[in-house]
Structure 1
Amino acid sequence: MEAAGTDEVDKLKTKFMSAWNNMKYSWVLKTKTYFSRNSPVLLLGKCYHFKSEEENETAPVRSRWPVENDHVVISGNVEEFRRDFISRIWLTYREEFPQIEGSALTTDCGWGCTLRTGQMLLAQGLVLHFLGRAWTWPDALDIETSDSESWTSHTVKKLTASFEASLVGERGPPSILKETRRRSFEVEGRNEICHRKIISWFGDSPLACFGLHQLIEYGKKSGKAAGDWYGPAVVAHILRKAVEEARQPDLQGITIYVAQDCTVYKADVIDKQCISTGSENAEDKAVIILVPVRLGGERTNTDYLEFVKGILSLEYCVGIIGGKPKQSYYFAGFQDDSLIYMDPHYCQSFVDVSIKDFPLEVLKASSREKYPLFTFVKGHARDYDFTSTPTNEDDLFSEDEKKKLKRFSTEEFVLL
């Protein structure tokens, strides 16, 4: 009887805390972000400059980050930066999603921020792989100007306008222009299908391969439960396991490598790419490299700032996750010494990604947003087996590995 009474108290406590967190994180103060017109803004390897906005020109510039970024271009178009930023997939706390197995939770408010930022990091890697860094969401700039319209109605209007324009074009422009327009429309359609597919993989449903429910299942095997706070290092290994276990054909050529002791072993990365299954085309294979590393002691060491900025300047960077103790953010860019981030600490309603034409605007950041570390070594690492243990094949981490993960600080970052 006492056990039953304790269970009821725990359930009541969980429901009360969930309700409190839902109310707490549903309030958002919209603050305006101010950028300098005299300094470039870097966003995941793309460089923008607002000084020449009126000229609407794009001019090459030599980056202060060596070698890899000599090709970076500075754009004077503010709208291009906004389009690029809003095109990133923004995943936040959710409420009223299907109950998490083994708990009474239907929300992750107050505890799921690192899982959400980990999802954003992985989502950016998938967008980069399938759509490329130059891709942006065509409807990005329409989010704030069409609050009264649904995404579907806006799309219908856009398609109707495109169709009418094509009819007008038939009376005048040469056939080569019509063919170019048709191909462009087809490419945009394929990209939108791919974009929606990527988002559906992160749905708050037990069936979504990178959804909260699945990530928590992998977390259980490392000693974590729904409602616990997850550190970035643990999330890195959970994401690796989730990608390895994904059964979708499109994901068979993708793997994740998690660095050990802040060291990336080149031969191990090559081996990861070679064992990618399901695709004979080398271009369909990809390795996402995650590096769990602590940036200082009680607070972030400012000596690392320039290196962090260099990482965010790389074309193939998918961002950084981490932040204050028990508060994780997704860092995507910077201007001068100020980092640009996406905040998961905002409670939104559950979005059913299984329905056709599910709304995309709630998965995009808009006016709510505020805007040697590790080494590469030739050869292989020591043989740490993170996929099984000698005693229990169901465990994700061995006992020694669990002790290692516990030593990581809550102020870690995960870099790519």
Structure 2
Amino acid sequence: MISFLGLGRMGALMARRLVAAGHEVTVWNRTPRVVEGAAAATSPATAVAGAELVITMLSDPAVVRRVLSDAAPGLRAGTVVVEMSTIGPEAVAGLRDLLPPGVGLVDAPVLGSVEPAGDGTLTVLAGGLAQDLARCRKALEVFGRVRKVGGPGAGAAMKLAVMSALVPAQVLLAETVAHAEATGVDTGTLLDVLGGTPLGALVERVRPAVENGPDETRYALGLAAKDMALAAHGPRTLAAAAGRRLAGATAAGLGDADLTAIFAYLTATGPAGAARDTERSDRRGRTGVERINPATVPATNGRYSHATRAGDLLFVSGQVALDGEGKVVGEEDMTRQSEYVMDQLSRVLADQGCTFDDVTHIRTYLTDMSLLPEYAAVRGRLITGEPPASTTVEVSRLFSPGLLIEVDVIAAVPAGRY
């Protein structure tokens, strides 16, 4: 039996291919989704119970770590976990400690987007021990061509290396088109000329988006920004510069749009917009402080920022269980509120290339200290190994009725992350 965790645009199509190939499949997604022919589980732990192979296809390192932490009690010796998200080799190495003894781990991110996921023509970049890869290779071949690229972590490293070339190339082409339009160069003619150069394949790929607007989302712009944050190996690299442009577009509300939306964004903002994106990254070098409000978390009331960054220190404001409409999530439910708060924290951290492993201090406010064990259980699934410095206090109330918990953190941003 195969367990598939994560049914986003890519994951749902990949799970369907496993079903069509005759595999017994159980699926789980945070927001329940149906895959015809597959059983649906209510939690990661129940999804993986009895599975010989567990596949994760999730959004970022923090989510992968959280889901596998939740799944761990259901894993048995002999199971192989195949991590197919784009999370980088450091995050993959950290997963080893989450898995019970006797559980294998293969990192196998993919090249390709929605269409290849549907028709089984992805390229699977597999890293891991030979015996673990041998046990899952047949299932991975359902998704496309499997390339063994090395030992544990090699697949994750190869994916970032490839994306650090492909994504900046597309951003560079978008900047070229934006500058050409601003200086009176005919865009159609420019694309025709570039089409006859080694950039021809990329030009044909993006031409519809340049002429007609962004494509249907195949590779979300926000995910590309996340990938560049992972891939950047220094603040002055092309990957880091592309990441700044994409972060600016994400902050403008384009995170769920296809990556090709970067063309319309840079054309609309022009050189000044690109300069602002660079200034956003460089500002902390001049003033010492950058205000951060990721599009992935509900907007603030305007009287505070979700985080500030000074150099490589990230200070995240207290997060509470309020949704985008200001309604309490998990009324009178400490576990649910704790899960929501920790998820919001993980999103702010991920915006700056961090995970809970980078947290140096965590401070918690509870309205009822007797509920501490419920919060501690949630926190323990996310913060493993040697814990950070911590402060926990009981308060008479928080700023909005119904809130049971507020948590803020300080993190050290890894070197090279913008």
TM over 0.5: no
Structure with larger RCO (C-alpha < 8 A, sep 6+): 1
Q: Which has the higher helix share?
A: 2
TM-score calculated relative to the size of structure 2: 0.26
